[in-house]
Amino acid sequence: MTQGPLFWIVIIACLAVLAILLVGVGGFARGGEFNKKYANKIMRLRIGAQFVAVLLILLFVFLARQGG
């Protein structure tokens, strides 16, 4: 099952969430104009990406249990 395309899509989704999180934390740590302008947008983007990643993980687990 780890060789299927859904597995790699789940991995990519998780890495996307990680990248968005790192950009957000980096902007927060740096502060300044970037943080003021993009903090909420980055947070919303991360939450949306996490939602998609969790749905994909659940689908992957469901299909793995079904033997598909």
> What is the residue-level pLDDT of the chain in tens, covering all 68 positions?
667 899 999 999 999 999 999 999 999 998 889 889 999 999 999 999 999 999 999 999 999 999 85
Same domain, 39 and 58: yes
pTM of the complete model: 0.86
What is the extent of the structural domain holding 36? 32-67
Same domain, 24 and 14: yes
18 within 8 A of 49, measured Cβ to Cβ:
no
Same domain, 26 and 42: no
Helix (H, G, I), strand (E, B) or coil at 68: coil
Q: Per the structure, how many domains does the chain have?
A: 2
Q: In whole angstroms, what is the distance from residue 10 CA to residue 32 CA?
A: 34
Same domain, 1 and 24: yes
